[in-house]
Amino acid sequence: MKRFALAATFLVGACNLYFDDGSGHKPPPASGGGGGYSGGSGGAGIDGGSYMADAFDPHGSFDYTEYLNNVYPVLQAECAACHVGGTVAIFGPSIDPASMYSWIIEQPTLSGCGSPASSRLLTKGVHEGPALSASEASAIQQWLLDASADGSIDCVPPPPPSAKLLAEQQFAACETVSGTDITSSGAAQLANLNSDAGTCASCHSPGGPDGLLLGSASAMLASWETQPGLESTFTTQLAPDGVSYQVVFNYALFDAKGTEQANGTGTHPSYVLLKSVYDGMADFVAEIDALGAAGVCPTPGFY
């Protein structure tokens, strides 16, 4: 990210700069009066307020008002319910438009770093939520291009992930297009596994210890599309080619959890990891792997 470190510099004119506080976080566009997006006198936002030029862009830019008018309403209506706050909060903790804006432009997987086609905003497609309409996708793509041209999105794509992380990201991406595989494979049975304190879902819904989210098949799948959720249930191991890695159900972890009390290693309620549950998880992994082999998955990444 660009940073403007100013010591004792006096600025002449209506430039909107900020002092780098060392946090590495861009402040959101400032709101209120001042030099703005339309004619330099402050542009009107969708809520009737006025918006200054980006606090981190000394030349001013139009992309924030474009975001307010064309992008934020779509994200607020169709995405925010699941992706603001909670366990899959890719848009941050707040529905505030400036907060969501900052979260998007600072995450290369969302901003696309000048290549909107790679943004998860456009590659996500149908999941538990709806796919974007053609007009919505076009508006978001145009905004990402304009934000990049304005300098609001100024980032370098992250370095290639490790082989293990890449395997996880590929698996998560394929899960987003897996449809009903979580139920047809039998993997959803994991939520109904019985312990001496009730089903797994009775304690791990919504969320719960170890990052598990087992309230429903759709909740499980959404959780497994995130890194914490995926790693709470799966692990990676060396693939048969001896070079790459593959994601597998973490049988050892779940088996150990069910025997903690008997082995004196913990207090988790006791249960037996049934073969039917293990087979269901193995079948789910196989179906996800098949999607990857078929080349139908979006760009690897967590969702």
Q: Which of 246, 230, 238 is nearest to 175 (CA)?
A: 230
pLDDT at 13 (0 to 100): 35
Residue 139, pLDDT > 50, answer yes
Confidence bin at 84 (pLDDT 50/70/90): confident
Q: Which of 178, 191, 212 is nearest to 274 (CA)?
A: 191
Pick the residue with more confidence: 57 or 177? 177
For residues 76-92, give the mean pLDDT.
81
pTM: 0.53
57, 151 Cβ separation under 8 angstroms = yes
At which residue do the structure tokens 């290369």 appear?
108
Residues of the chain with pLDDT > 90, as a percent, come to 29
Across all residues in the chain, what is the average pLDDT? 76
pLDDT at 87 (0 to 100): 62
Confidence bin at 72 (pLDDT 50/70/90): very high
Residue 3, pLDDT > 80, answer no
**C-alpha radius of gyration, the chain, whole number:** 23
Pick the residue with more confidence: 14 or 301? 301
pLDDT at 110 (0 to 100): 85
pLDDT at 170 (0 to 100): 96
Pick the residue with more confidence: 156 or 193? 193
For residues 291 and 173, give the distance between their C-alpha atoms in angstroms, rounded to a whole number: 10
Burial class (CB in 10 A: 0-12, 13-18, 19+), 257: buried
Q: How far is CA 148 from CA 63, 128, 138, 157, in A?
A: 9, 29, 15, 13
pLDDT at 175 (0 to 100): 96
| Token pair belonging to 121 | 């905003």
Residue 80, pLDDT > 90, answer no
pLDDT at 24 (0 to 100): 40
> From the CB of residue 74, how many other CB atoms can be counted at a distance below 10 Å?
18
106, 29 Cβ separation under 8 angstroms = no
For residues 274-280, give the mean pLDDT.
92
Beta bridge mates, 88: none
Residue 236 phi/psi, 5° resolution? -115, 150
For residues 54-80, give the mean pLDDT.
73
Residue 211 phi/psi, 5° resolution? 75, 10
* pLDDT per position as a tens digit, 98-123: 888 888 888 888 888 888 888 888 88
For residues 146 and 71, give the distance between their C-alpha atoms in angstroms, rounded to a whole number: 12
Task: Supply the DSSP string of the chain, one letter for each residue.
Answer: ------SSPPP-SS-------SS--PPPPPBSSSSBSSTTS-EE-TTS-EEBSPTT-TT--SHHHHIIIIIHHHHHHHTHHHHSSSTT-TT-S---HHHHHHHHHT-HHHHGGG-GGG-HHHH--SSSSPPPPHHHHHHHHHHHHHHHHHTSS---PPPPPPHHHHHHHHHHHHHTT-TTHHHHSSGGGGGG-EEBTEEHHHHSTTS-GGG---SSHHHHHHHHTSHHHHHHHEEEEE-TTSSSEEEEE-HHHHHHHHTHHHHTS--PPPB---HHHHHHHHHHHHHHHHHHHHT---SS---
Residue burial 158-195, b: 16+ Cβ < 10 Å; e: rest: eeeeeebeebbbbbbbbbbbbeebbbebbbbbbbebeb
* pLDDT per position as a tens digit, 147-175: 888 888 877 666 677 899 999 999 999 99
Confidence bin at 209 (pLDDT 50/70/90): low
Beta bridge mates, 248: 235
pLDDT at 19 (0 to 100): 32
* pLDDT per position as a tens digit, 227-275: 988 998 999 998 888 788 999 999 988 888 899 888 888 899 999 989 9
For residues 20-38, give the mean pLDDT.
37
